[in-house]
C-alpha cells in the first residue's frame, strides 16, 4: 500500500511539473492520462492483461507529458509487476518491453523537442532496467525464502513433525483459550498400550507408521473435535465440544472401546475429563484426565495379571487333577466290579447297593471331568465353519429346549467365518454354555446367539434372560471347583475357559442381576482362501 502511494505522489509531481513547465501536448489530455494511469495502479489485478494495460497508459502519459523524468516511474512500475509475478520468462519479457517502451518514448520526446539523441544515455537506461530486474528478482526470491522459513518455524512450534497434529505445547495453549472462553469441552487422553512392545519387536518404523495411521483415524472418528494433538510419545489428546442438551462424553466411549482398537489392531487405553461439569480450571482438567487414564491402565494391567494367574492356576490344578484321576479311577472300577459280583453271589448288601452305586457313579463322573479338564489331548486343528458348529449345537439342544419351554434365537453372520479348531471341543464348549443357560432360566426363557466378525476376529455372544450373576460372583465363576449348584462339580466353565484358551481366544462374561448373563467369545479367524486351499488338498 505504501508503495502505491509513492507511485501516486510521483505521478502527481510529474503531472504538475509538465503543466507548470508547459511541456504537455494538452493539459486536459495530460490530466486524463494521469487519472487513467492512477486508476490502473489502484485497481486489483484482473488477469495477465493488466500489466500491459498499465504499461500502455504509462507510455501515453510519458508521450503527453513530454518529460524526461519518467525513468524512475518506469523502474518503479517494473518492480511492482515483478513483485507479484513469479514466472521467470514472463518477468524478463516484461523487463525488455519496459526498457524498449521507455527508450522509444524518450527518443520520441527528444526528436519532438529537436534535441540530439544521446545514445550513451539510452545504453545506461537499458542497464538500469536490467539492474532493477535483477535486484527485484533477487529480493523477491530472498523474501519468499524468508517467508517460507518463518512459516516452517511457526509450524514446527505448533505441530508434530511425524503426525502433523498439534504438539504438546500448542495443545496446552489451545486448551487454555477454550477454558478462558468458558466453553463446555471434554478432554480425552489416549494411550497406545502395545506400541512400546511393537517398537521393540518390529522396530521404530513400524511404530511410527502406526502413529500416523492413528492420527488419520482420529481425524475421521472425531471429525467434530475442536483440536487433536500428539500429547506425548505414544499418547494423543482429543478435545471435543459438549452440547448443552448432552453435557457428557459417553457417546465417544464406544469409538474408543471398540472402533479404534479394531481399526488399529492395538490395545487402546483412555481417560476422559469434562469442563466445567467436573473441574473448573485447565490444570485440574488435565490432572483428572491423566488420573482416569492411569486408572484405566491399572485396571488393564490387573486384568492381564489376573489372566496370567488364572492360567497358572489352571496349569497347577490340571497337573493335580491328572494325578488324582488316574489314582482314583482304577480303585473305583475294582470296587464297582466287586460289588456287582457280590450281589450276584448273594452277599447281604442289598439295602445299601443303590446308594453305593449312586456314589460310585458320582465319583466316576467327577473323575471323568477331572481327566477332561487336565489331560493334554493330542488335538489336530482343522479349518471348520463356526456357523456349522452353532447349527450343530442348536440341533442337539432343540429337543431339550422344547421340553423346558425355552427358545433359541440365532443371528448368523452375513460373511462366512472359518477358523482353526478342534470341532468336537468347539461343540462341547457351546453345549456347556447353552446348557448352563437352560439351567439358569425358568420356564419360557430365551437364549440369544449372535455370530459376527471383523477383519481379524470372530465374535460369538450367548445371552440368556435369566436372573443373572451377582457382581461379587463374576470374578469366581471360572475358578476350578467353584459352583453354586447343589450337584455341580465346579469344572464346567473352567473347561470352557481352557477350550477357548487352546483356540487362542478370549472368554468374557457380562451380567447384571435380573437382566440375564452374556458370554462373549472371540476367536482369530482364517480367511476363506485358506479354507478353500485346504479343501482342495484334502481331495487330492
What pLDDT does residue 497 have?
84
Q: Is residue 310 domain-shared with residue 450, that is, in the same domain?
A: no
The pTM for the full model equals: 0.41
What pLDDT does residue 522 have?
92
Q: Is residue 410 domain-shared with residue 459, that is, in the same domain?
A: yes
Higher pLDDT, 364 or 534: 364
Higher pLDDT, 6 or 322: 6
Instruction: Provide the domain limits for residue 401.
Output: 382-536
Q: What percent of the chain has pLDDT over 90?
A: 4
Higher pLDDT, 452 or 481: 452
pLDDT grade, residue 102 (50/70/90)?
confident
Q: Is residue 398 domain-shared with residue 486, that is, in the same domain?
A: yes
Q: Is residue 95 domain-shared with residue 121, that is, in the same domain?
A: yes
What grid cell was written down for 503? Answer: 483356540
- 471 inside domain: yes
- 132 inside domain: yes
Q: Is residue 422 domain-shared with residue 470, that is, in the same domain?
A: yes
Give me the mean pLDDT over the 187-206 stretch: 73
**CB distance 359 to 433 below 8 Å:** no
What own/partner pairs with CB < 8 Å and gap ≥ 24 does 494-501 have?
Answer: 494/314, 494/373, 495/369, 495/372, 495/373, 495/428, 495/432, 496/429, 496/432, 496/433, 497/310, 497/314, 498/314, 498/318, 498/373, 499/425, 499/426, 499/428, 499/429, 500/429, 501/311, 501/314
3-class secondary-structure state, position 449: strand
Domain count, the chain: 4
Which CATH number belongs to the domain containing residue 212 in this structure?
Answer: 3.30.70.270
- 293 inside domain: no
Q: Is residue 268 domain-shared with residue 313, that is, in the same domain?
A: no
Q: Is residue 427 domain-shared with residue 477, that is, in the same domain?
A: yes
- 287 inside domain: no
What pLDDT does residue 173 have?
87
Q: Is residue 44 domain-shared with residue 96, that is, in the same domain?
A: yes
Which CATH number belongs to the domain containing residue 320 in this structure?
Answer: 1.10.287
Task: Please state, rounded to an integer, the average pLDDT across all residues of the chain.
Answer: 76
Amino acid at each position: 500500500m505504501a508503495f502505491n502511494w509513492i507511485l501516486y505522489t510521483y505521478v502527481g509531481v510529474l503531472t504538475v511539473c509538465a503543466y507548470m513547465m508547459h511541456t504537455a501536448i494538452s493539459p486536459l489530455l495530460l490530466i486524463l492520462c494521469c487519472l487513467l494511469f492512477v486508476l490502473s495502479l489502484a485497481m486489483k489485478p484482473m488477469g495477465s492483461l493488466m500489466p500491459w494495460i498499465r504499461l500502455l497508459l504509462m507510455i501515453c502519459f510519458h508521450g503527453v507529458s513530454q518529460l524526461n523524468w519518467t525513468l524512475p516511474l518506469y523502474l518503479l512500475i517494473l518492480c511492482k509487476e515483478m513483485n507479484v509475478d513469479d514466472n521467470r520468462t514472463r518477468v524478463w519479457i516484461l523487463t525488455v518491453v519496459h526498457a524498449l517502451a521507455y527508450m522509444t518514448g524518450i527518443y520520441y520526446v527528444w526528436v519532438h523537442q529537436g534535441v540530439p539523441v544521446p545514445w550513451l544515455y539510452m545504453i545506461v537506461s537499458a542497464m538500469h532496467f536490467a539492474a532493477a530486474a535483477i535486484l527485484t528478482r533477487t529480493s523477491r526470491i530472498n523474501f519468499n525464502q524468508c517467508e517460507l522459513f518463518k512459516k516452517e518455524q511457526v509450524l514446527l512450534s505448533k505441530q508434530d513433525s511425524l503426525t502433523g497434529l498439534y504438539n504438546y505445547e500448542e495443545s496446552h495453549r489451545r486448551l487454555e483459550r477454550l477454558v478462558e472462553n468458558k466453553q463446555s469441552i471434554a478432554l480425552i487422553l489416549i494411550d497406545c498400550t502395545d506400541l512400546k512392545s511393537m517398537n521393540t519387536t518390529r522396530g521404530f518404523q513400524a511404530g511410527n507408521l502406526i502413529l500416523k495411521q492413528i492420527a488419520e483415524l482420529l481425524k475421521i472418528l472425531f471429525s467434530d473435535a475442536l483440536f487433536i494433538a500428539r500429547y506425548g510419545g505414544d499418547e494423543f489428546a482429543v478435545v471435543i465440544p459438549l452440547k448443552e442438551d448432552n453435557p457428557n462424553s459417553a457417546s465417544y466411549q464406544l469409538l474408543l472401546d471398540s472402533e479404534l482398537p479394531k481399526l488399529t489392531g492395538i490395545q487402546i487405553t483412555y481417560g476422559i475429563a469434562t469442563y466445567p461439569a467436573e473441574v473448573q480450571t485447565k490444570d485440574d482438567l488435565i490432572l483428572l484426565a491423566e488420573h482416569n487414564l492411569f486408572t484405566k491402565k491399572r485396571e488393564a494391567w490387573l486384568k492381564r495379571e489376573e489372566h496370567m494367574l488364572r492360567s497358572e492356576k489352571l496349569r497347577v490344578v490340571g497337573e493335580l487333577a491328572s494325578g488324582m484321576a488316574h489314582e482314583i479311577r482304577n480303585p473305583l472300577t475294582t470296587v464297582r466290579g466287586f460289588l456287582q459280583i457280590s450281589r450276584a453271589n448273594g452277599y447281604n448288601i442289598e439295602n445299601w447297593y443303590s446308594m453305593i452305586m449312586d456314589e460310585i457313579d458320582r465319583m466316576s463322573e467327577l473323575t471323568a471331568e477331572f481327566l477332561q479338564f487336565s489331560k493334554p489331548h493330542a488335538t489336530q486343528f482343522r479349518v471348520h465353519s463356526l456357523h456349522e458348529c452353532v447349527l450343530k449345537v442348536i440341533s442337539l439342544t432343540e429337543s431339550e429346549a422344547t421340553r423346558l419351554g425355552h427358545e433359541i434365537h440365532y443371528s448368523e453372520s452375513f460373511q462366512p467365518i472359518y477358523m482353526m479348531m478342534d470341532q468336537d471341543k468347539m461343540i462341547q464348549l457351546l453345549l456347556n454354555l447353552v446348557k448352563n443357560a437352560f439351567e439358569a432360566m425358568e420356564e419360557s426363557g430365551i437364549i440369544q446367539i449372535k455370530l459376527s466378525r471383523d477383519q481379524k476376529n470372530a465374535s460369538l455372544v450367548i445371552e440368556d434372560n435369566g436372573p443373572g450373576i451377582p457382581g461379587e460372583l463374576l470374578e469366581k465363576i471360572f475358578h476350578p471347583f467353584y459352583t453354586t449348584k447343589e450337584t455341580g462339580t465346579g469344572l464346567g466353565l473352567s473347561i470352557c475357559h481352557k477350550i477357548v484358551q487352546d483356540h487362542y481366544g478370549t472368554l468374557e462374561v457380562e451380567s447384571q442381576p435380573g437382566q440375564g448373563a452374556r458370554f462373549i467369545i472371540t476367536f482369530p479367524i482364517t480367511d476363506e482362501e485358506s479354507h478353500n486351499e485346504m479343501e482342495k488338498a484334502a481331495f487330492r
